[in-house]
Amino acid sequence: MTGAESTAAAPVVARVPVLNAANALTALRLMLVPVFGVSVILSGMTHAGWRIAACLIFAVASATDLVDGWIARRFGLVTSVGKVADPIADKALTGAALVLLSWYDRLPWWVTAVILARELGITALRFWVIRHGVIAASRGGKIKTALQILAIAWYLWPMPAALAAVGPWIMGAAVVVTVLTGFDYIAQALRLRRPTP
Ligand SMILES: O=P(O)(O)OC[C@H](O)CO
């Protein structure tokens, strides 16, 4: 085989570094989780100023979810590590928020339990099938996360009772989409594990 032939037969595949801007934003989201948690605890869900601070920190952390995905796709920085870490960082943030809202009696515990069971279950599922392929976040999964974020922000921000009454409806929609997308991922995982004929 000549040198020219060997070059043509072996296309150059650029390796995407794991330490890139998109994954750094995902890591930032994880690091903001304890900062957010402390601000909710300082608010005790009664102090308006700390509640606003907690909501703003939550919003900034949530915004990194939009930006990291966009950067990864726009600049070709999509990595398997990022595909797995991104949903985990989302779950850490929303999970912490839901537990704290229930802890302060703002949200029924069953809501937090249902959402956490789905989120932890799907994370375990992702690791269970990882040898067969990566289950990346689906469009439904992104809508689910957006609904959860909106609902949590609604609960965090101090607002008049008439507006606050909308919060449970948004959270209800989030619960429904959370459960339905969970079933969709289970179907994907079973397809990945199915032996190829
Ligand atoms: O539904 P998941 O588990 O894929 O999570 C979706 C991500 O949070 C979207 O960024």
pLDDT tens-digit series, residues 125-170: 998 998 888 888 899 999 999 999 999 999 999 999 999 999 999 9
User: Atom 3 (ligand 1): residue with closest C-alpha?
Assistant: 87
Please state the atom number of ligand 1 nearest to the C-alpha of residue 122: 3
Of the residues 73, 88, 93, 142, which should be mutated to test ligand 1's pocket, given the most ligand atoms within 8 Å of the CB?
142
- Residue 190 CA to residue 182 CA, distance in Å, equals 13
Query: Would 73 be classed as within a structural domain?
Result: yes
Contact 181, 146 (CB under 8 A): no
Q: What is residue 3's predicted lDDT score, i.e. its pLDDT?
A: 41
Q: What distance in angstroms lies between residue 91's CA and the mean position of ligand 1's atoms?
A: 8
ipTM of the complex: 0.95
Query: Would 172 be classed as within a structural domain?
Result: yes
Q: What is the domain range of residue 128? A: 18-193
Query: Would 115 be classed as within a structural domain?
Result: yes
User: Atom 7 (ligand 1): residue with closest C-alpha?
Assistant: 87
Q: What is residue 5's predicted lDDT score, i.e. its pLDDT?
A: 40
Question: Among 163, 152, 87, which Cα is nearest to 119's?
Answer: 87
Confidence of residue 16 (pLDDT cuts 50, 70, 90): confident
Q: What distance in angstroms lies between residue 94's CA and the mean position of ligand 1's atoms?
A: 11
Give residue-wise pLDDT tens across range 34-53: 999 999 999 999 999 999 99
User: Does the Cβ of 86 fall within 6 Å of ligand 1?
Assistant: yes
User: Atom 4 (ligand 1): residue with closest C-alpha?
Assistant: 137
Query: Would 11 be classed as within a structural domain?
Result: no
Query: Would 37 be classed as within a structural domain?
Result: yes
Of the residues 26, 84, 86, 176, which should be mutated to test ligand 1's pocket, given the most ligand atoms within 8 Å of the CB?
86
Backbone angles phi, psi at 46, to 5 degrees: -125, -35
List the Cα angle 24/93/116 in 5-degree steps. Answer: 130
- Residue 16 CA to residue 18 CA, distance in Å, equals 6
Please state the atom number of ligand 1 nearest to the C-alpha of residue 144: 1
Q: How many domains does the chain have?
A: 1
Query: Would 6 be classed as within a structural domain?
Result: no
Query: Would 55 be classed as within a structural domain?
Result: yes
Please state the atom number of ligand 1 nearest to the C-alpha of residue 138: 4
CATH code of 144's domain: 1.20.120.1760
Query: Would 146 be classed as within a structural domain?
Result: yes
pTM of the model: 0.86
User: Does the Cβ of 122 fall within 6 Å of ligand 1?
Assistant: yes
